[in-house]
């Protein structure tokens, strides 16, 4: 593995390359008359469209662009217009270049006529009554388990529906119970599992979103922040203007925005503050779940970089009344105008792509132009007061 590029170790990259090799293995490579392509969709690239952790999408895209730079794949746009407000991976497809196949087979240890795939197919035949779709039962579908004996993996997979019928478990809990204590072995495999068993296994317990809050009695607003250090500083009163705000922080807001208001999905833990007044808390929870209006206005404050702006845009979809916290963004734009910012390419953020509009008039008209003028970014921690 010493000769394998680091970006090949990324799970998203490996799944993509394994799928492309699967397509190649189904046809004659020398005689094929059409290109081997794969559309970039949410089902195939969940990290890009529904990242589980912050910056999972930028990391996955960076690794795919490295493959393109190495001549393994081409990335083509499938639409020519209306691309200024979408991520670089939207409306795009991957083209597998013939000259890259040999390298990919070496990196993935998948010679033509893959013996590992043949072993999985042999073992799958013993369990054909348990599985609805045997074609998806292959090492590339479960890459994190491919180094275990095929017989063991398939036998344990076959037990999954029965396990879920007896216990209400999250995907992580079920994975740890079946696969040698590895809670991440089935991460991101929901669609594959549903296809494999021919039924909806989403009786899986969804992981709740843990939100930490710092309550302020008689608060004038809710302030959602992107980063933990900013939350701690705001709770300690080290950011000017937050004294009258109840501050909220949840790791991975970006990947959970679409379900953060679902009843039972958000779990609130109140710290560095008195517990909320019961009447206020009841109004807050009913408003958070969309049953009524929130008791106070809600604001957002995040990094001034492409990823931070995308998180804000996604949060606005969940909270239509969400406003930018202007005092905080004013502090950050002043830093940019003073030259106190950083460039994407010098800070490891080049995979975030370019700055895109958020749909919020104030951010799009007053903040993004400053970013474009200076060519700089700044993280929200720069708003923290230092002695």
**What pLDDT digit, counting tens, does each position of 303-353 carry?**
999 888 988 998 898 899 999 999 999 999 999 999 998 988 777 777 787
pLDDT above 70 as % of the chain: 92
pLDDT at 89 over 80: yes
C-alpha closest to that of 378 among 325, 305, 307, 292: 305
In sequence order, which ranges of the chain are alpha helices (DSSP H)? 11-25, 46-49, 56-69, 101-108, 115-125, 150-157, 160-166, 171-178, 190-197, 228-235, 253-256, 278-288, 306-318, 326-337, 361-362, 368-374
How confident is the model at residue 83, as a pLDDT?
A: 67
Partners of residue 38 on adjacent β-strands: 94
pLDDT above 90 as % of the chain: 39
Partners of residue 73 on adjacent β-strands: 96
Average of per-residue pLDDT across 51-59? 84
How confident is the model at residue 281, as a pLDDT?
A: 93
How confident is the model at residue 273, as a pLDDT?
A: 72
Average of per-residue pLDDT across 9-14? 88
Burial 171-196 (b: 16+ CB within 10 A, else e): bbbbbbebbeeeeebbebbbebbebb
* Cα dihedral 6/68/104/5 (nearest 10): -10
């Amino acid at each position: 593995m010493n000769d394998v590029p680091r970006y090949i170790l990324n799970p998203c990259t490996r799944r993509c390359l394994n799928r492309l090799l699967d397509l190649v293995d189904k046809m004659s490579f020398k005689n094929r008359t059409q290109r081997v392509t794969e559309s970039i969709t949410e089902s195939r690239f969940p990290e890009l469209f529904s990242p589980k952790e912050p910056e999972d999408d930028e990391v996955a895209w960076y690794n795919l662009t490295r493959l393109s730079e190495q001549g393994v794949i081409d990335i083509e746009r499938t639409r020519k217009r209306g691309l200024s407000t979408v991520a670089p991976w939207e409306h795009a497809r991957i083209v597998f270049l013939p000259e890259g196949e040999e390298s990919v087979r070496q990196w993935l240890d998948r010679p033509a006529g893959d013996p590992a795939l043949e072993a999985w197919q042999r073992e799958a035949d013993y369990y054909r009554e348990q599985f609805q779709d045997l074609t998806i039962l292959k090492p590339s579908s479960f890459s994190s388990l491919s180094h275990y004996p095929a017989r063991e993996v398939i036998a344990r997979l076959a037990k999954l529906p029965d396990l879920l019928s007896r216990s209400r478990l999250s995907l992580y809990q079920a994975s740890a119970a079946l696969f040698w204590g590895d809670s991440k072995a089935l991460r991101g495999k929901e669609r594959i599992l549903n296809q494999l068993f021919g039924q909806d296994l989403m009786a899986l317990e969804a992981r709740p979103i843990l939100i930490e809050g710092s309550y302020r009695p008689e608060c004038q607003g809710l302030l959602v922040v992107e980063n933990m250090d900013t939350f701690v500083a705001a709770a300690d009163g080290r950011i000017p203007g937050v004294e009258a705000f109840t501050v909220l922080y949840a790791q991975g807001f970006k990947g959970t925005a679409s379900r953060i208001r679902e009843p039972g999905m958000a779990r609130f833990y109140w710290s560095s503050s008195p517990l909320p007044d019961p009447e206020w808390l009841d109004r807050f929870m009913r408003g958070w779940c969309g049953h009524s209006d929130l008791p106070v206005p809600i604001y957002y404050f995040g990094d001034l970089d492409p990823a931070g702006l995308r998180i804000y845009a996604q949060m606005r979809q969940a909270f239509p009344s969400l406003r930018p916290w202007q005092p905080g963004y004013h502090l950050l734009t002043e830093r940019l105008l003073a030259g106190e910012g950083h460039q994407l390419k010098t800070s490891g953020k080049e995979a975030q792509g370019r700055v895109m509009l958020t749909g919020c008039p104030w951010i799009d008209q007053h903040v993004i132009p400053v970013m474009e003028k200076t060519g700089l970014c700044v993280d929200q921690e720069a708003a923290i007061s230092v002695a």
